[in-house]
Amino acid sequence: MEHVTHENIPPVYDKDSKILILGSMPSKKSREAKFYYMHPQNRFWKTLESVYQEEIFEKTEFLKKHQIALWDVIASCDINGASDSSIKNVIPNDIAKIVKNSQITKIFTAGKTAEKYYRKYIYPDLQMESICLPSTSPANCRISFEKIAEEWKIIQERD
């Protein structure tokens, strides 16, 4: 088990953000790169390109253009490698901070682990429902890219 923290990767959002996508905890590759979904086999950025039918040249600008906020549920935890099932001693991020300083009306979790910890640690205080989307992680190889991209299209829907 290794104790990992999220302190080097700040949330991506601004006052105009309308949707929030939450992962669980950045991978080792993402922590090294100090940005989200940086493992070369993770399908997150490819999925967003498919959903918005647009090539991503600069990730932060793309997110802001589409009013997407991005962060993770977990601020720190103990984890064995990249195994979500091994996560213990969770300290959650202050998700309410983003919601209060933006126009977020919808929250999506990227995978069942993010959903589990969102429900356990964030939802009781924030009281905002979330929609669980399939994980784009390479560990989620049971689901085809086409199926993931299709399910992720819901993030385009606005109130």
**In the chain, what are the domain boundaries?**
2-156
24-45 pLDDT tens trace = 998 888 989 999 999 888 999 9
CB 151 within 8 A of CB 50: no
User: Hey, what CATH topology would domain 2-156 get?
Assistant: Uracil-DNA Glycosylase, subunit E (3.40.470)
Quick one: what percent of the chain has pLDDT higher than 70?
99
* pTM score: 0.95
